[in-house]
Amino acid sequence: MPDLPLVALTRRIPQVCEERLARDYRVRLGDDAVVFTPERLAKHAEGAAALVVTPAEVVGVDAIAQLPASVKVISAFSVGYEHIAVKEANARGIVVTNTPGVLTNATADIAMLLLLGAMRRASEGDRLVRSGAWTGWRPTQLLGTHLSGKNLGIVGMGRIGMAVATRAKAFGMRILYHNRSPAADATALNATYFANLDDMLAQSHVLSLHCPMSAATKGLLNARRLALMPKGAVVINTARGGHVVDDDLIAALQSRHIAAAGLDVYANEPTLDGRYRALDNVLLLPHLGSATRETREAMGMMVIDNLEAVLRGQPSKNVVAI
């Protein structure tokens, strides 16, 4: 069917979404194992009207410059779009879209999983049982920390930050947050707003990052700010690895100033600083924030809605503007 528009996807997406695409488009699927260099991405996109990319591909200035002129839309299979050179894409007449809203609950659940796991030492417990070294229940074994009564500092009170706050409130935590401006919804949670991040850090027993990646947030959690946090605090990151200065967080975990961390994201995924692997007090996940069947299907459907609207010349709600 040569007259149907071609959609090129860098990765496989849930079956129900691939089936929907196949009904209305010619489809070129990527191989999940491939690393997409700008050259390879350009070749993969040859003749395509729409290109679907995931957070695993860096679609930087070079990649945009090499894309064939046939590409009218880059539909990101993600809410984050810092991996795409949006300005350069727009300058070439390519619209960029993303998938906001549909991954809020899944990501908030993973933040809670990390928070609980880090505070209750779940990965150490799992390793103890698996290793066969567990000799039985002991009054002083693997003692963690209560969630209830602790202050949770949230950086970025958008949809995901709010969803984490709501969950943590149910566990008896007090909610503090830092945002560009106070969030109206946060009042119902009795949450305390801090215009100044440093002031919030000094009172945060747990810190959870939920801000978008930008020049302003790159490296925001550095040695100076970690030192402001109470001794024994816990750090959770489900946003972007680049928010954290790895050298500084690793040093704080080694000294136990930061008692534990739960990380789902890393600066250069899938590569991560090997020193994290050697630390007992860090719970590491492979960017699972949105990884539920329901969420990935909803993301896939939104990706298709987005590219379809652009190809039909209709307004798409999810055009990324920078």
Q: Which of 269, 293, 294, 312 is the catalytic position?
A: 269
CB-based contacts of 62, cutoff 8 Å, min separation 6: 38
Q: Which is nearer to ligand DGY, 191 or 299 (CB)?
A: 299
Does 237 interact with ligand DGY (rule: CB under 6 A)?
no
**Nearest distance in Å: CB 107, ligand DGY:** 7
Distances (CA, A) of 261 to 67, 182, 258, 290: 39, 27, 8, 19
Q: Which is nearer to ligand DGY, 106 or 115 (CB)?
A: 106
CB-based contacts of 157, cutoff 8 Å, min separation 6: 165, 177, 178, 179, 183, 186, 191, 210
Q: Which of 174, 240, 243, 296 is the catalytic position?
A: 240
Give the residue carrying structure tokens 């010619």.
Answer: 26
Among 88, 107, 104, 105, residue whose Cα is nearest residue 96: 88
What's phi and psi for 84, nearest 5 deg? Answer: -120, 135
Span 51-70, contacts to ligand DGY by CB under 6 A:
55
Q: Which stretch binds ligand DGY (CB under 6 A): 73-81, 144-152, 159-167, 277-285?
A: 73-81
Among positions 78, 123, 208, 237, the unique one binding ligand DGY when judged by CB under 6 A: 78
In the residue annotation, 296 being an active-site residue is answered as no
Distances (CA, A) of 209 to 7, 65, 158, 238, 241: 34, 33, 11, 7, 10
Q: How many residues bind ligand DGY (CB under 6 A)?
A: 7
Q: Which stretch binds ligand DGY (CB under 6 A): 75-83, 88-96, 179-187, 277-285?
A: 75-83
In the residue annotation, 269 being an active-site residue is answered as yes
The order of strands in the sheet holding 95-97 is: 26-29, 6-9, 50-53, 73-76, 95-97
Distance separating alpha carbons of residues 111 and 117, to the nearest angstrom:
10
Span 257-296, contacts to ligand DGY by CB under 6 A:
289-290
In the residue annotation, 210 being an active-site residue is answered as no
**Nearest distance in Å: CB 56, ligand DGY:** 10
Among positions 80, 117, 156, 241, the unique one binding ligand DGY when judged by CB under 6 A: 80
Span 10-49, contacts to ligand DGY by CB under 6 A:
none
Q: Which is nearer to ligand DGY, 25 or 77 (CB)?
A: 77
- DSSP-derived secondary structure letter, 268: B
Among 278, 244, 234, 288, residue whose Cα is nearest residue 120: 234
Q: Kindly write out the interface string for residues 102-131 of this chain, putting x where it contacts ligand DGY by CB under 6 A and - elsewhere.
A: -x----------------------------
Is 146 within 8 Å of 140 (Cβ atoms)?
Answer: no
**Nearest distance in Å: CB 95, ligand DGY:** 18
Catalytic center residues: 240, 269, 287
Task: Note the residues at the interface with ligand DGY (CB under 6 A).
Answer: 55, 78-80, 103, 289-290
